[in-house]
Each structure stands twice: as structure tokens, then as C-alpha cells.
Structure 1
Amino acid sequence: MNTIPLQQRGLAASRLILGCMPFGGSWDRTPITQADVLKAEQAVDAALSIGINMFDHANIYTMGKAEETFGRILKGRPQLREQMVIQSKCGIRFAEGDVPGRFDFSKEHILSAVDATLGRLGIDYLDILLLHRPDPLMEPDEVAAAFGHLKAAGKVKYFGVSNMSASQIKFLQRSLPDQLAVNQLEMSLGHLHWLDQGVHVNQQAGASVNFAEGLMEYCQMERIQIQAWGPLAQGRFTGRSLVGEPEHVQQTAKRVERMAQEKETTPEAIVLGWLMRHPAGIQPIIGSANADRILACKAAEEQARQMSREEWYSLYVSARGQNMP
């Protein structure tokens, strides 16, 4: 398989990413426990043992405790930092008193959020900073000023976005001297809008698809790394109870299990390999703190290389619950 866009930019990033959203315990202000740190460290070690060196954070994950937990791991094992590609996100703010939850791409917030993230992680720089979700009040020149300050200060190497359309990326990019490196999107066998948007061109069925037109093609043409959050579809095809799920979902789970048995691998490797088989060079983000589940993803890249066009389509058509063409 070809190198992924991040590798083409000189970042030694693994094809799989460990998402650190579960780190730090509950989504509240309760203190981090030693058990929380130990569980996270076991997850990190599991990831490293199967070649994952890239770790995804956001300043809001478990109210900041995910980054703090990761920082405690790095404090005890500082040699790990130079082996890792670390990215985080900012731009989502929780409700405060009478002020509602909101998005904030102001220069002041971006700068303060990055400083807080670096403090919690206990590191000097982020490899990548992503803007978490589109802010309707975004002013590209103000974002550019924040990014320029962070890069000049050596606090961030590369910048990207999450959940943005091609037009939103273009609108922001016109003010930036450096090309955005990443767009992070929900993508899985259980969330197929990113594929359906393309195959439903000039079809009535496309009216129900909620995905920005041309986004996949734009990111590929501009060498923007597409990262997939939720790639395991919350375990829907890898062993989760499917009571009450539609028949086509249950049948797809059985198909995944049969393929895994035939290929002597895991359902997780099949599901992730299906995503990675796409020519966009997608990086799936495994959002788990379960070491065993992380280890089950080991063969994903190998399964992507081996997966035939017919096998790929068999999973896609089964998961969408509707024949093609």
C-alpha cells in the first residue's frame, strides 16, 4: 500500500491511531486514580507493541483528564515522547453558568487551549493540532494568526481540522501559509455516508445522505490526511450484542466473523482493514482503553493489503442493507 499523506509530509505516523478519549475515568471533575493511569498505560503499551505510535487527544476528553493521565505516563517514561506522534484538538467549550456549550476558534481561546493541553501532557510541543468542529463565527485571518504564533513558538508543527467540509477547509486555507494536514471524520461500516454520497450521485436515494459533496476527493487531491473516528462502529460488527439491530446489521456482523475465521484473524482487523483498503489512505482511530481490544487490531493493515475488491464490496453492500447498482 502507498504511504499515507502524513508520512508524505515527513511525519513517521503509524497507519493506526490510538484514540485517548476513554483515558482518565469519568466525564466529571472527580480526581484521576492510580487505577485510571495504570489502565491507560496498559493501553499505550498494547498500542506500541503492535506498531501504533500515534495518539489522538482533545482538550475536552474526560474534562481534560485524558491528557493529564497521558501526561503522567510520559512523566514516568519521558523517553516515550520522541517515539510518538501526538495530536490534540481544541475549539469545543462546555457550558459555563448561563453561557451555553459552544465552539470557539478565537485566537485567544486557541492559544490558551494549546498552552493548557501542553501543560496537562507535560510536553513542549504537539505534532498536530486540530480544530475540533466547525465554528460558525470562525474568522480565517484570526485562526491564521493563532496558528502562526503557535508555529513560531515551536508549540505545534502541523495543523488540521475535524468534521469539516471541503468548502469550509478552502475558506480557512485561503488565510493560511501552510496547508492543513488532517481532516478527522466519522467513518465506519456502521456510518457509510462518506461512501454513499459518491455512489448516489443523480439518484433519489442520495437525498437522505448527510455528507459534504466532493470532500473525499478534495482531501485526496490536496494530500489532506483523512482520519476516521468511530471506525469500529462501537463494536457493532465485532462482538457487541445486536439485539434489536436491523437484520442487515446482524448479517454483516456474521459476514465479518466468517471472514475473520477464514483468514485466521480478528473481526477488528477485518473491519479496520476494510476502511484502510480505500485509496484515500484512511487512518482509523481506535477509541479504546481496553488492551485486549487494541491488540485485536494488530493485523488491520495486513488485511487491508489482502482484501480483494469483491470482499470489500461484499461488506459495503451488506452493511448498507441495499443492493447495488
Structure 2
Amino acid sequence: MKQINLGNSGLMASEIVLGCMRINKFSVDEVKDLINTAVECGIDFFDHADIYGGGKSEELFGDALTPALRDKIKIQTKCSIRKGFYDFSKEHILSSVDASLKRLKTDYVDTLLLHRPDTLMEPEEVAEAFNELYKSGKVKSFGVSNHNPMQIELLQKYTEHKLIINQLQLSITNTGMIDSGINVNTKFPGAIDRDGSVLEYSRLKDITIQAWSPFQYGFFEGVFLNNDKFPELNKVLDRISAEKNISTSALAVAWILRHPAKIQTIVGTTNKDRLKDICTASDVSLTREEWYEIYRAAGNELP
């Protein structure tokens, strides 16, 4: 499994991440097996959030964690989503991290992300919370999720801690951050910049993009693989995956990993065999022609 230098910070992590949103429905032994399978495949980075399973996902992961295993992996969690609102207050950030650490049964997390932008954010408060968490050793590094460049700039102005990660939705059928860069200076729909050129901004600022929902189309409308709504895309994926002797799932992840932005990809499968299969994406290299053919097969036109 290839490693990525997160945000050029020196924190090295596997380019494929296991997302733990759905593990709340499993037993401790099943979660242990899933974690061990991930580690055997080269995954050493695990993504959580305080809201996943109402906290149950973190709790089960903590129950499955051993001291020896903790030393081998990196744990990331997120906070700020509350029932009906977002909360970047210092009080909530600190209490959320304490609750996550208790559930995860660990003294620290390697990265903490602010989950969704809070328009009522007071960046000075966030900076104070980050300072306390860092000085206490509870959080090693910081980032955001679903933020645009100006929101990051505003927060970065007040905190001395470099934001090294931005977690964003990206898949073959959710390519807004790519489309706007390809369709510059046109009136084509793809030219609409919905996120402030976040892809190029992230590369300029050494911020690692973490791609969530790599198999989803729409927001959470379903997967595009083997879906009758995407006949041309699946035809191309079937052909190229057969040529490379990998699955279409692995190919969909390899397509993201091919981008020179060095995007880290989060997969949320709870099936051990599927996880092993997806991890083969790290050994696949797509040509420019193959990458663009897949991009066009998803319905994207080049100007």
C-alpha cells in the first residue's frame, strides 16, 4: 500500500483509508477482524466522526483496539455536527474530543477535522480549542471537512496549526472540483465553480484531499457500479478492469488515486473480502488516456 505525506506535514498514512461510519451494527469480534484485515492490506488510517452510529462506531472500535494495534495505526475523528445545527464553539470542540477519546479508548487522535462549516464560527475560539487540544496531547494535527478555500483561509488566519486535510465528496460521477478546472472560460455547465477551485487551492497550500463516497452518485443516491443509469460508464469500467485484472470497485478507487493531487480515498465497506479487493487499487496505474476515457464515460464532455 502506497503512503501519502498528509499535508506535507510528515504524517505518513496509507493512501486508502477505512471509513468506520457503518461498523456500529457489528460485534466487537467482527470489528476486530475488519481492522486486522485492513492492517494486513496496508491500511493504517481509520476515519471516524462523533456522530457515526450516534457514537457507537467509535465505541466499538475502541473495544476492538489493543495497545499493540494502536501503535500501528492512525485514528481520525470529526466533530461539529449537532442535531439541527453546526457548532464550532470552543466548549463543544473540547467536549466532543473528550467524548470521542473515551469511546475510542485512546489518549489521543492523530487528526481532528471540523465536519461541516459553521457559518457562526468565531475563528479565535476554534484556535483556542486547537491550542488546548494540541498542548494536552489529545490531538496531533488538524483539518476540515467539506470546506471551501476562503473558509479555510479564515480559520488558518487565526490558528498556528496548519490545516493539513480537507475531506470532500469525490467519485467518478461527482467531479465538480475537477469539472470547473477543465471547463475554464466556457459557458458549459461544468464551468460552474461551486467550491472556489478547491482542488487547485489544496495543491497550492499542501492540503491533502480525502475523497469520501468514492462509489456514490449524487449526494447519497446509490452506487454507480453496475447501475443501469450509467451504462456507458460501466461498459468502460468493465473493459478496463478486465484488461488490468482488477474489479470495477478497485478501478473506481484507482481512478481517484491517479490524480497527481495525491488524494487519499476513504472506503466504507464492512465486508472483509471487498476491502481486500479494493486495496488492490494501490497497485494499479492508469494512463492519461484511460483516466480521461473513464471521465468522459461518466457523461463529462471535454471543451
- Give the TM-score, by structure 1 length: 0.88
2:292 is the alignment partner of 1:324: no
Q: Residue in 2 aligned with 1:298?
A: 279
2: CA distance between counterparts of 1:46 and 1:211?
Answer: 38
Q: Residue in 2 aligned with 1:253?
A: 234
2: CA distance between counterparts of 1:47 and 1:209?
Answer: 38
The letter for the 2-side match of 1:70 is F
Q: Residue in 1 aligned with 2:71?
A: 82
Moved segments of 4+, more than 6 Å: none
Unmatched 5+ residue regions in structure 2? none
Of 149, 152, 164, the match for 1:169: 152
Cα distance, 1:197 vs structure 2: 1.4
Of 298, 304, 309, the match for 2:288: 309
Q: Residue in 2 aligned with 1:111?
A: 94
Q: Residue in 2 aligned with 1:28?
A: none
1:160-198 C-alpha deviation (Å, 9 max, x unpaired):
000000000000000011210100000001211111111
Q: Secondary structure at the match of 2:159?
A: coil
Alignment of 1:224-303 (within 5 A): 224-233=207-216, 236-239=223-226, 242-243=227-228, 245=229, 249-303=230-284
1: CA distance between counterparts of 2:213 and 2:239?
Answer: 22
Distance 1:206 1:237, change over 3 A: closer
Q: In the alignment, is the contact (CA less than 8 A) between 2:176 and 2:190 conserved in 1?
A: no
Q: Secondary structure at the match of 2:33?
A: helix
Cα distance, 1:23 vs structure 2: 1.1
Q: Residue in 1 aligned with 2:53?
A: 62
2:183 is the alignment partner of 1:200: yes
2:80 is the alignment partner of 1:91: yes
The letter for the 1-side match of 2:301 is N
1:220-242 C-alpha deviation (Å, 9 max, x unpaired):
11111110000122773444xx2
The more displaced of 106-115 and 186-195 is 186-195
Unmatched 5+ residue regions in structure 1? 26-34, 95-100
Distance 1:6 1:322, change over 3 A: closer
2:160 is the alignment partner of 1:182: no
Of 147, 158, 181, the match for 2:130: 147
The letter for the 2-side match of 1:16 is I
Distance 1:41 1:254, change over 3 A: farther
1:223-272 C-alpha deviation (Å, 9 max, x unpaired):
11110000122773444xx24x2xxx221112112111111111122111
Distance 1:188 1:7, change over 3 A: same
Q: Secondary structure at the match of 2:279?
A: coil
1:74-97 C-alpha deviation (Å, 9 max, x unpaired):
1xx321001001000000012xxx
The letter for the 2-side match of 1:266 is S
Q: In the alignment, is the contact (CA less than 8 A) between 1:5 and 1:224 conserved in 2?
A: no
The letter for the 2-side match of 1:50 is C
2:21 is the alignment partner of 1:40: no
Cα distance, 1:12 vs structure 2: 2.7
Q: Residue in 2 aligned with 1:127?
A: 110
Q: Residue in 1 aligned with 2:120?
A: 137
Distance 1:2 1:71, change over 3 A: closer
Q: In the alignment, is the contact (CA less than 8 A) between 2:177 and 2:197 conserved in 1?
A: no
Distance 1:322 1:89, change over 3 A: closer
2: CA distance between counterparts of 1:322 and 1:197?
Answer: 11
2: CA distance between counterparts of 1:301 and 1:113?
Answer: 34
Identity %: 44
RMSD: 1.8
Task: Please identify which structure carries the higher strand content.
Answer: 2
Q: In the alignment, is the contact (CA less than 8 A) between 1:197 and 1:213 conserved in 2?
A: no
Cα distance, 1:291 vs structure 2: 1.2
Cα distance, 1:207 vs structure 2: 6.9
Cα distance, 1:274 vs structure 2: 0.6
1: CA distance between counterparts of 2:146 and 2:91?
Answer: 22
